[in-house]
């Protein structure tokens, strides 16, 4: 699947930080059962890559990607565990080159018009606005829409259940990234039914 197809699968991509490997599979199962198939596992913990591999093997309906790719070597590591897409917080020539050698598509992060132009010149027109809230949020996306009508966004960073629908109402937003569907307290408690309920609610946030 290409990145445009992936971001079109669900209105919310859960941005997940897995700290305990044993929670990876039940977490993925709960989110997929709730209607959120596309999962981003951030490279912020020692077990992140193992979590991706476990999810890929145990939950075949999930589309599992690796987020927080910040170095070229991260792409090779993500490839080895079967990542189906990658996400970066920003884009450098080194990261763009690494993405071309990867077996999965990339959702690169941008924050400014200059970064957007650079990413588009590198061949990317589906981008993550990050951090969305700090970058200007809804107003920024509206402002970017006219000069860049060919660019589609997945804004991520500071987006909540209360604000997600406003983002999804914008024509240049395909989906949003959010961590509210898997709160830390629920993860610690193993409240998979609660997480499934949050996922089902998020999945109901279809674009108008």
- pLDDT per position as a tens digit, 59-107: 999 999 999 999 999 999 999 999 999 999 999 999 999 999 999 999 9
The listed CATH number (1.10.357.10, 3.60.70.12, 3.20.20.70, 3.40.50.720) that belongs to domain 3-203: 3.20.20.70
What predicted TM-score, i.e. pTM, was given to this entire model? 0.96
Strand ranges of the sheet holding 176-178, from the earlier edge strand across to the other edge: 106-107, 85-87, 63-67, 38-42, 12-16, 176-178
Mean pLDDT over 128-154 rounds to 98
Domain boundaries, the chain: 3-203
User: How confident is residue 207, by pLDDT bands cut at 50, 70 and 90?
Assistant: confident
Which DSSP letter does residue 63 get? E
Provide the token pair at 39: 């999962």
* Gap between the Cα atoms of 97 and 111, Å rounded: 20
* Residues designated catalytic: 40, 128
Q: Are 55 and 32 in contact (CB under 8 A)?
A: no
Model confidence pLDDT, tens digit, residues 143-183: 999 999 999 999 999 999 999 999 999 999 999 999 999 99
């Amino acid at each position: 699947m290409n990145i445009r197809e992936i971001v079109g699968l669900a209105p919310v991509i859960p941005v997940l930080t897995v700290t305990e490997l044993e929670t990876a599979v039940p977490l993925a199962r709960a989110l997929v059962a709730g209607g959120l198939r596309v999962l981003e596992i951030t490279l912020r913990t020692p077990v992140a890559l193992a979590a991706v591999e476990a999810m890929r093997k145990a939950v075949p309906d999930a589309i599992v990607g690796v987020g927080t790719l910040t170095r070229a070597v991260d792409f090779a590591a993500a490839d080895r565990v079967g990542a189906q897409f990658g996400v970066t917080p920003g884009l450098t020539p080194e990261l763009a080159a690494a993405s071309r050698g990867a077996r999965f598509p990339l959702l690169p992060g941008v924050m400014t018009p200059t970064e957007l132009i650079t990413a588009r010149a590198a061949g990317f027109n589906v981008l993550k606005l990050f951090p969305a809230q700090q970058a200007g949020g809804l107003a920024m996306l509206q402002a970017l829409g006219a000069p860049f009508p060919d660019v589609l966004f997945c804004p991520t960073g500071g987006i909540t259940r209360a604000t997600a629908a406003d983002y999804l109402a914008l024509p240049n937003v395909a989906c949003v990234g959010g961590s509210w569907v898997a709160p830390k307290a629920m993860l610690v408690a193993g409240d998979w039914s609660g997480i499934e309920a949050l996922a089902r609610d998020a999945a109901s946030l279809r674009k108008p």
